[in-house]
């Protein structure tokens, strides 16, 4: 080896060593931050000065920085966020990531596999196909089912809508199509319908019962009315795990309607579908296996990092017919009979990461018993919260605990919710309770509205939150409520 080659090799080794040290530093910083979770800000929204500073650093410069300085900037930037994986964050659907998912994500990123075709990723594709088959089986879908990993519930819902459209409608009939969902259906569904070419007037919002579940009788009436008016009903969108309440639409009855009326039943299970992995609570999702398509987010209740969603369909050929771009019908059929799956023929992405690998990594490390234990814990946490709320004077339970979610409000004696002025005062009280709890970094129960009324909502699914801690946090909320009512 001549001196030039030696210097080049030495320089490369030096860069690799620096990169390795930087990676170790990042991991140490990250683990240190996670060990100090009780002191981190649950909600940290950057102020105007901080945003200006971030913007000044966000513009690329001609000269690069040292790795250590760049890492510090990353830590500063990411400090301004909502800590969705904090045990005390109860808003939206939190994302309590298990440490195995971080490692699985790092490993997946390191290999940077293009998981579009079997040729490019035969190993990861074999894992993805097998894992999809297993998930479909857990949900009770038949052997004809299949699917694809996508970025999340929005993409899964959109892909299902497109597959349903292409399966059930002729192109020239799309303008007369009718879709049925409920007032509690996730907003991503309406967005997906719009992207798929349907006008908002083609959506019929079916009323809900007292438990916020779609009314089957009202659905039947709507279908009859639309057929009589010359419309073409083709899609019912049900939910397993309502974002507001954790409730589940009456899936067996909705499946009956879909069968009788020859409609496609899509179940948005982005959050709640994970309950099928719990032997104790699986019965809550009875009927989910009768769906024609199912969305399911591993980054919600399977403890994965973001961008790990799943779409499952009852007939995997429906995805190939819709999304294949390089094969005739005969070739599609041949692919269906082959174990060599090209996942770019089952979804919208051509270039796609091996998303299934991090979920597989966690399941392989933890085992399904541990995952089931964590799911059960989240359901029990909300039940503990319900019990504690019921025991506290001046607190009202709005919806009972369901799939880790409970709704409640502070409604002190002397204020009548049926009186408009008192109702407005109660809303102000609960909004202030939420604001102070967040500002003091005690917890982050956000507000929502049910039947037009504002209340506090908690989605409590973090495996590291104990039942005692839950009771203590509710005690803190009670103390804050007392301060607010006293004008302190």
Statement: residue 30 has pLDDT above 90 = no
pLDDT tens per residue across span 155-211: 999 999 999 999 999 999 999 999 999 999 999 999 999 999 999 999 999 999 999
- Sheet of 232-239: strands edge to edge? 146-150, 309-313, 293-297, 264-268, 232-239, 177-182, 203-206
Which pLDDT does position 281 carry in this prediction?
98
Exposed, middle or buried, 405 (CB in 10 Å: 0-12/13-18/19+)? buried
pTM given for the model: 0.93
Which pLDDT does position 346 carry in this prediction?
96
What is the Cα Rg of the chain in Å?
25
Rounded average pLDDT over 300-320: 97
Give CA–CA dist 442/39, Å, rounded.
Answer: 10
Which pLDDT does position 36 carry in this prediction?
63
Contact (Cβ atoms closer than 8 angstroms) between residue 57 and residue 73: yes
pLDDT tens per residue across span 423-433: 999 999 999 99
Least confident of 228-237, 285-294, 337-346, 361-370: 337-346
How large a percentage of the chain has pLDDT more than 70?
A: 91
Binning pLDDT at 50, 70 and 90, where does residue 487 land? confident
Contact (Cβ atoms closer than 8 angstroms) between residue 310 and residue 145: no
Which pLDDT does position 329 carry in this prediction?
41
Which pLDDT does position 337 carry in this prediction?
56
β partners of residue 453: 450
3-state secondary structure of 1: coil
Give CA–CA dist 216/415, Å, rounded.
Answer: 36
Exposed, middle or buried, 135 (CB in 10 Å: 0-12/13-18/19+)? buried
Give CA–CA dist 167/193, Å, rounded.
Answer: 15
pLDDT tens per residue across span 82-117: 999 999 999 999 999 999 999 999 999 999 999 999
Nearest residue to 258 via CA among 223, 211, 296: 223
> Residue 272: how many CB atoms within 10 A of its CB?
29
Which pLDDT does position 27 carry in this prediction?
73
Which segments of 97-215 does DSSP mark as H helices, in order? Answer: 99-111, 122-139, 153-168, 187-195
Which stretch of DSSP H or E encloses residue 313?
A: strand 309-313
Statement: residue 14 has pLDDT above 80 = no
Contact (Cβ atoms closer than 8 angstroms) between residue 311 and residue 294: yes
Distances in whole angstroms, Cα of residue 303 to Cα of each of 102, 142, 367: 10, 26, 13
Which residues fall within 8 angstroms of residue 120, CB to CB, at 6 or more apart? 113, 114
Binning pLDDT at 50, 70 and 90, where does residue 75 land? confident
Specify the pairing of strand 453-459 against strand 395-402: unpaired
How large a percentage of the chain has pLDDT more than 90?
A: 86
Statement: residue 256 has pLDDT above 70 = yes
Nearest residue to 426 via CA among 436, 414, 435, 437: 414
Rounded average pLDDT over 445-471: 97
> Residue 16: how many CB atoms within 10 A of its CB?
10
**All domains of the chain in start order, with CATH:** 114-353 (3.40.640.10), 368-487 (3.90.1150.170)
Give CA–CA dist 158/169, Å, rounded.
Answer: 16
Which pLDDT does position 332 carry in this prediction?
47
Give CA–CA dist 85/91, Å, rounded.
Answer: 11
Rounded average pLDDT over 410-431: 96
Bigger pLDDT: 75 or 38?
Answer: 75
Which pLDDT does position 17 carry in this prediction?
73
Contact (Cβ atoms closer than 8 angstroms) between residue 119 and residue 77: no
Contact (Cβ atoms closer than 8 angstroms) between residue 54 and residue 46: yes
Distances in whole angstroms, Cα of residue 314 to Cα of each of 144, 192, 340, 487: 6, 20, 19, 57
DSSP per residue over 90-117, as a string?
A: -SSS-----HHHHHHHHHHHHHT---SS
Statement: residue 330 has pLDDT above 80 = no
Contact (Cβ atoms closer than 8 angstroms) between residue 116 and residue 352: yes
Backbone angles phi, psi at 287, to 5 degrees: 100, -10
Which pLDDT does position 292 carry in this prediction?
98
pLDDT tens per residue across span 203-232: 999 999 999 999 999 999 999 999 999 999
Ramachandran bin of 223, using left for φ above 0, alpha for ψ from -120 to 50, beta for the remaining angles: alpha
Bigger pLDDT: 16 or 274?
Answer: 274
What size, in residues, is the chain?
488
Rounded average pLDDT over 67-80: 90
Nearest residue to 161 via CA among 188, 143, 136: 188
Contact (Cβ atoms closer than 8 angstroms) between residue 433 and residue 481: yes
Ramachandran bin of 200, using left for φ above 0, alpha for ψ from -120 to 50, beta for the remaining angles: alpha
Rounded average pLDDT over 395-402: 98
Statement: residue 8 has pLDDT above 70 = no
Statement: residue 5 has pLDDT above 80 = no
């Amino acid at each position: 080896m001549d001196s030039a080659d030696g210097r080049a090799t030495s320089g490369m080794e030096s860069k690799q060593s620096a990169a390795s040290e930087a990676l170790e530093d990042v991991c140490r910083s990250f683990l240190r931050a996670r060990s100090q979770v009780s002191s981190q800000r649950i909600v940290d929204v950057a102020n105007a000065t901080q945003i200006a500073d971030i913007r000044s650093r966000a513009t690329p410069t001609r000269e690069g920085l040292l790795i250590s300085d760049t890492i510090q900037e990353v830590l500063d930037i990411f400090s301004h966020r909502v800590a969705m994986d904090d045990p005390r964050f109860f808003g939206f659907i939190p994302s309590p990531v298990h440490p195995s998912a971080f490692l699985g994500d790092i490993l997946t990123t390191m290999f940077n596999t293009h998981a579009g075709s079997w040729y490019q990723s035969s190993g990861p594709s074999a894992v993805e196909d097998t894992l999809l088959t297993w998930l479909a089986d857990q949900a009770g879908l038949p052997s004809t089912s299949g699917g694809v990993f996508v970025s999340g519930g929005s993409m899964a819902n959109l892909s299902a809508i497109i597959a349903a459209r292409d399966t059930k409608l002729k192109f020239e009939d799309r303008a007369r199509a009718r879709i049925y969902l409920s007032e509690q259906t996730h907003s991503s569904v309406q967005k997906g319908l719009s992207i798929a070419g349907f006008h908002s007037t083609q959506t019929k919002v079916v009323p809900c019962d007292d438990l916020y579940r779609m009314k089957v009788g009202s659905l039947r009436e709507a279908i009859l009315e639309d057929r009589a008016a010359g419309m073409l009903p083709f899609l019912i969108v049900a939910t397993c795990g309502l974002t507001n309440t954790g409730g589940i639409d009456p899936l067996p009855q909705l499946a009956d309607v879909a069968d009788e009326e020859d409609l496609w039943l899509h179940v948005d299970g982005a959050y709640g579908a994970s309950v099928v992995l719990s032997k104790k609570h699986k019965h809550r999702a009875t009927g989910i296996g009768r769906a024609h398509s199912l969305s399911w987010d591993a980054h919600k209740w399977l403890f994965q990092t973001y961008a790990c969603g799943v779409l499952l369909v009852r007939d995997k050929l429906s995805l190939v017919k819709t999304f294949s771009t390089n094969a005739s019908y005969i070739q599609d059929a041949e692919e269906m009979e082959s174990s060599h799956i090209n996942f770019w023929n089952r979804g919208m992405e051509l270039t796609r990461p091996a998303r299934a690998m991090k979920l597989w990594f966690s399941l392989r490390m933890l085992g399904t018993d541990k995952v089931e234990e964590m799911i059960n814990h989240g359901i029990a946490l909300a039940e503990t919260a319900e019990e504690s709320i019921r025991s506290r004077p001046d607190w009202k339970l709005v919806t009972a605990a369901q799939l880790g979610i409970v709704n409640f409000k502070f409604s002190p004696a002397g204020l009548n919710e049926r009186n408009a002025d008192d109702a407005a005062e109660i809303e102000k009280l609960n909004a202030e309770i939420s604001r102070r709890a967040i500002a003091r970094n005690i917890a982050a129960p956000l507000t929502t509205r049910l039947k037009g009324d504002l209340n506090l909502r908690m989605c409590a699914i973090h495996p590291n939150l104990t039942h005692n801690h839950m009771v203590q946090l509710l005690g803190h909320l009670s103390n804050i409520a007392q301060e607010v009512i006293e004008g302190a």
